[in-house]
Structure 1
Amino acid sequence: MNARALPTGWPWLLVLLLAAVVPLFVKSGYVFDVAINVMIFAIAAYGMNVMLGYAGLLPLAHAGFFGIGAYAVGILTLKAHWSFWLAWPAGVAICAGLGLLLGLVAFRTRDDVFAIFTLGVGVIITQVINKWDALTGGNDGLNGLAAPTLGGLSLGKPGNFYELALLALALTIFLVARVRSSLFGRSLIAIRGGEDLARSAGINVYTHKLRVMMLSTALAGLAGGLYAVYVGFLGSAITGPATTFTILLYLLVGGVGTLAGPLLGTLIIRLLQQSIQGLQDYQYIVFGPLLVLLVLFFPAGLSGLWARLRPARPARVKEVKGAGV
């Protein structure tokens, strides 16, 4: 297999293999709960990262698409009696299609106007979910979402659902890594550097932005579908701006535009949230100053800090036969 097909090589494979055998040694439901939530929201963070980190576009409707993916799975399984294994990809496809429709309008704006426009769309999504009682349950939400089964095996058990979430995360990392190393990913980075310059290089900016919007919203829907059946209850609060800004916080802490950043930032912040559960109403008072310090001193996040601390590899010098010293 081509080494480029693997996300940054063997360290990622080692991490994923070690994570896969965790259920053999860990039996704590609390540990599984934290790990599953980290993986679900890391997938959503990767979705935001392909927009913000690669294309330089800030999608503030991200939680709305997370919620659409979750509600799609909830509605299709509860009301249409679909299997989760059909409802989940359907939710991803719905999010990608709605992302395309949003992009057709939103990409006629640029920079701050784009961010404000998508923030407004996110608020509209929350209001629609909150008010459409017949479909979404409105303020009461959707209750009783059943855990999926696979060949008679219930994935409701924490260890089994952990493996499903890990597989989804691994596929997400693989996909994002391939996008980053592809011509499409390099074109997105060129767009981030300047749309006019990218156009002059022959890049179809509008088409590339539509494609990355679809990828971003699809990953948000992928995470949302997992969240729906894991939690078993859905309310409109998960679609609001607070969830979007929390995912953005994960990126800023981990490192925007990096491959490890979304997972690292989600892990760190979720662990901090668990450690200060008694101060949940005041957690952003704690996170606020920390985020300011991070942006001031480590603007590339923890992944950027690691890159700075890691010793540079010495350049290889090819030996030339017969060359003097």
Structure 2
Amino acid sequence: MAALVNRRTVISGFILLALVFPFLTKNSYVLHILTLAFIWMIAVYGLNLLAGYTGYLSLAHAGFFAIGAYSLGILTVKVGMNYWLAFLSSLIITCILGLLIGLIALRTKEHFFAIYTLCVGYIIYLVIDKWDGLTGGVRGLIGIPVPAGVGPLSFEEPQSQYYLILFFLLLTVLMVYRIVHSLSGRTFIAIRNSEELAKTLGIATMKNKLMVFVLSTLFAGLAGVLYASFIRFIGPDIGYITITFDLLMYLLVGGIGTLAGPIVGTILIVWVSQSLQFLQDFRMLIFGPLLTLLIIFYPRGIIGAFYEWKIKRQEKKRMRALIKKHKDAEFSDANSVPDKKVKEG
């Protein structure tokens, strides 16, 4: 009960800090970077749901991110569709393409799946880069509108956009939490632990893998849509493989297969990257070894290492309690006085 209260307190504290942060800083650049970090977190949660809880590493995540962004850009800039209708349509387009690609990709396993999705991601990038008539090619799309106002709410200002993206981030975390702690979430973990055993238990592995793959693309597409309307300019580079590796790095540093890992990893890497900006191209000489050491000594990431430390601490407390109980029992036996026999005269 105390652990649950502490967890709720910590979560409430972080949410409160995120809500009041725009009032604590007057630096618009910091607010801009944090808003971008929120967008990356949404994409990382999608990657974590597939790789962390099902065991399938998709290297096409940046491709689906780009599909969401370009779908919104094309529907709003070229078609002239209403923003929120284009928003919803972009998510549907991303999920449909994710379903079609997943039907083929999920027939492969392990490194074959990773290689296949890597090829798919690169094909998506090439289509965006070369289809000049639809995507604008290397010129990209310019003038993507900001989110349309909802009633009295307007999203023209950076601060209002910050809160809008924070809302979608909290919604994403809630959805992932409910999925992971549902029967479907346990099914995903069973597939990750042993797909063959899951089949023998009667689990429809292909159906569940396809479900989580589409959910992963949904979050990637959502992040792409928010990115396009926040930056208002997109180019083919947002679909390049380096974006996928950045998202994977955020996940590995924070903790793959954990709920807090995407937030911790993204915030930490973004903060370190910004702190080393003064080194320009040489910052990787410091950032690279630090990242390598972190992966070597904490393969489950920062949150995974924290969970391991917590389990070991609880185990030590339990062992100390057992030892103390055993010693108390021995002391009690040693000091017990046997009943004296009464001699008859």
In the alignment, what sits opposite 1:312? 314
| Structure 1 residue 286, shift from structure 2 partner | 3.5
| Structure 1 residue 231, shift from structure 2 partner | 0.6
- SS of the aligned residue for 2:250 comes to helix
In the alignment, what sits opposite 1:73? 72
In the alignment, what sits opposite 2:19? 20
In the alignment, what sits opposite 2:213? 213
Does the C-alpha gap of structure 1 residues 50 and 79 become closer, same or farther in structure 2, counting only changes over 3 Å? same
| Structure 1 residue 88, shift from structure 2 partner | 1.6
In the alignment, what sits opposite 2:102? 103
In the alignment, what sits opposite 1:199? 199
TM, length-normalised to structure 2: 0.86
In the alignment, what sits opposite 2:161? 161
Report if the CA contact (8 A) 2:84-2:148 is conserved. no
In the alignment, what sits opposite 1:321? none
Structure 1 Cα separation of the partners of residues 176 and 20 of structure 2: 24
| Structure 1 residue 279, shift from structure 2 partner | 4.0
Structure 2 Cα separation of the partners of residues 236 and 286 of structure 1: 29
Structure 2 Cα separation of the partners of residues 282 and 87 of structure 1: 41
Residues 18-63 of structure 1: CA distance to partner in whole angstroms, max 9, x if unpaired? 3112233333211211110110000000010001100000000000
In the alignment, what sits opposite 1:256? 256
Does 2:141 match 1:139? no
Structure 2 Cα separation of the partners of residues 292 and 190 of structure 1: 30
Higher mean alpha-carbon deviation, 156-165 vs 250-259, is at: 156-165
Structure 2, unaligned stretches of length 5 or more? 322-328, 333-345
| Structure 1 residue 290, shift from structure 2 partner | 2.2
Give the total of aligned pairs.
313
Structure 1 Cα separation of the partners of residues 256 and 272 of structure 2: 20
Report if the CA contact (8 A) 1:69-1:224 is conserved. yes
In the alignment, what sits opposite 1:90? 89
Structure 2 Cα separation of the partners of residues 102 and 280 of structure 1: 38
Structure 2 Cα separation of the partners of residues 13 and 98 of structure 1: 37
Equivalent residue letter for 1:255: G
Equivalent residue letter for 1:138: G
TM, length-normalised to structure 1: 0.91
In the alignment, what sits opposite 1:170? 170
Equivalent residue letter for 2:223: A
In the alignment, what sits opposite 1:56? 55
Equivalent residue letter for 2:211: R
In the alignment, what sits opposite 2:340? none
Equivalent residue letter for 2:101: L
Structure 1 Cα separation of the partners of residues 284 and 48 of structure 2: 22
Report if the CA contact (8 A) 1:254-1:260 is conserved. yes
| Structure 1 residue 211, shift from structure 2 partner | 0.2
Equivalent residue letter for 1:123: Y
Residues 201-245 of structure 1: CA distance to partner in whole angstroms, max 9, x if unpaired? 111100000000000000000000000011111000010100000
Report if the CA contact (8 A) 2:90-2:221 is conserved. yes
- SS of the aligned residue for 1:81 comes to coil
- SS of the aligned residue for 1:185 comes to helix
| Structure 1 residue 300, shift from structure 2 partner | 1.1
| Structure 1 residue 112, shift from structure 2 partner | 0.4
In the alignment, what sits opposite 2:235? 235
| Structure 1 residue 162, shift from structure 2 partner | 0.6
Report if the CA contact (8 A) 1:89-1:222 is conserved. no
What RMSD in Å do the two structures reach over aligned CA positions? 2.1
| Structure 1 residue 280, shift from structure 2 partner | 4.5
Structure 2 Cα separation of the partners of residues 112 and 82 of structure 1: 41
Equivalent residue letter for 2:199: R
In the alignment, what sits opposite 1:295? 295
Equivalent residue letter for 1:243: I
Structure 2 Cα separation of the partners of residues 117 and 283 of structure 1: 32
Structure 1 Cα separation of the partners of residues 215 and 114 of structure 2: 17
Equivalent residue letter for 1:108: R
| Structure 1 residue 291, shift from structure 2 partner | 2.6
Equivalent residue letter for 1:58: L
Does the C-alpha gap of structure 1 residues 239 and 279 become closer, same or farther in structure 2, counting only changes over 3 Å? farther
Report if the CA contact (8 A) 1:143-1:234 is conserved. yes
Structure 2 Cα separation of the partners of residues 161 and 141 of structure 1: 22
Structure 1, unaligned stretches of length 5 or more? 318-323
Larger Rg: 2
- SS of the aligned residue for 1:21 comes to helix
